[in-house]
Amino acid sequence: MKKKITLILLAVFIFLYGGTVTEARSVPSATKGRDYYEERGEIVWEVPTQSKVIALTFDDGPDAHTTVQILDLLKQYEAKATFFVVGNRVEKHPDIVARELSEGHEIGNHSYTHPPFQNINSSRLVNELNKTQDAIFQATGIRTVLFRPPGGSYNESIVRTSKDIGMLTVLWSWHQDTLDWRKPGVNRIVKKVLDNAHNGDIVLMHDFVPTSTQTVEALRVILPELQKRGYSFVTVSELLSYHDKSHKFIEVNH
Ligand SMILES: [Zn+2]
């Protein structure tokens, strides 16, 4: 009788434990969250720092009108920023990307055609990244190590594949997603950034939003106000160098 109970308990244990193991094995890598990737230095959302530095980032460009206006404003306030460019747009406006670099800004890779990234396979991903690297190289003579997936989509495969070709995945501070691509109104964009500004923030904006000048107008308010509060605007690579801990990211020097 005792033996029978032991066997039953063993069976229950195997059932439960076996179930747990199966579940653990089948947990998709997409469930790995921010803590996992941040700890490993594989994705950056923002940088913990005592220094009053902020990284402004602009996605989806270059654009013949908006990007140029943004560059003029950045120059006026001696601000440096990072442009996550789309490869097929770089091919249309290589001169603008060259200007970005020559004025001290940083270029990042934001894919070639800006496709949905949720279920992208690695060969398509590599193709999207490499074609953009080539376009950036043609325009500027440099290759970037920064990568921002369209829509901020990430999973184990995206992080691994981009890391394997020497790129660091860069997202943005959750409290600094301006949603400027939705054209929410200049004041909403301004308020989002100014109300939430913290040391080490990575601010998400877009320099290509068809028929919208809201981002440019918002910057006319944001730049002088944050400067008045003592912030400096730095590129993403420079921001990483302000990290409080001696955090090991993949090499970000060009
Ligand atoms: Zn984008």
pLDDT tens profile 99-112:
999 999 999 999 99
- For residue 84, how far is its CA from the centre of ligand 1 (angstroms)? 8
Reported confidence tier of residue 6, pLDDT bands at 50, 70, 90: very low
Across the range 14-20, mean pLDDT stands at: 33
160: number of Cβ within 10 Å: 12
Residue 136 has pLDDT above 60, yes or no: yes
Distance CA 129, CA 165 (A): 9
Give 192's Cβ-side CA count (13 Å radius).
22
Angle between helices 156-164 and 122-140 (to 10 degrees): 40
Which pLDDT does position 32 carry in this prediction? 86
User: Which amino acid, one-letter code, is at 105?
Assistant: H
- For residue 75, how far is its CA from the centre of ligand 1 (angstroms)? 24
* Catalytic residue list contains 206: yes
Comparing 27-31, 48-52, 70-74, which segment has the lowest mean pLDDT?
27-31
Distance CA 38, CA 236 (A): 15
Distance CA 124, CA 203 (A): 28
- For 175, 178, 185, 205, 245, the CA distances from 182, given in Å and listed in that order, are 16, 9, 9, 11, 36
- For residue 120, how far is its CA from the centre of ligand 1 (angstroms)? 15
Which pLDDT does position 222 carry in this prediction? 98
Angle at 118 between CA 112 and CA 123, to 5 degrees: 55
Alpha helices by DSSP H, listed for the chain, are 2-26, 34-39, 66-76, 87-92, 94-102, 122-140, 156-164, 186-196, 214-228, 236-240
* Catalytic residue list contains 59: yes
Closest CA to 228 of 194, 200, 202: 194
φ, ψ at 246 (rounded to 5°) = -80, 75
- For residue 92, how far is its CA from the centre of ligand 1 (angstroms)? 17
Q: What pTM value is reported for the model?
A: 0.86
- For residue 59, how far is its CA from the centre of ligand 1 (angstroms)? 5
| C-beta separation of 171 from 43 below 8 A | yes
User: Which amino acid, one-letter code, is at 242?
Assistant: Y
Across the range 130-159, mean pLDDT stands at: 97
Percent of the chain with pLDDT over 70: 84
Of residues 59, 60, 180, 201, which has the active-site annotation? 59
Residue 56 has pLDDT above 50, yes or no: yes
- For residue 131, how far is its CA from the centre of ligand 1 (angstroms)? 16
Residue 121 has pLDDT above 70, yes or no: yes
Residue 1 has pLDDT above 70, yes or no: no
Residue 7 has pLDDT above 90, yes or no: no
Of residues 93, 110, 114, 206, which has the active-site annotation? 206
Which pLDDT does position 250 carry in this prediction? 56
- For residue 112, how far is its CA from the centre of ligand 1 (angstroms)? 11
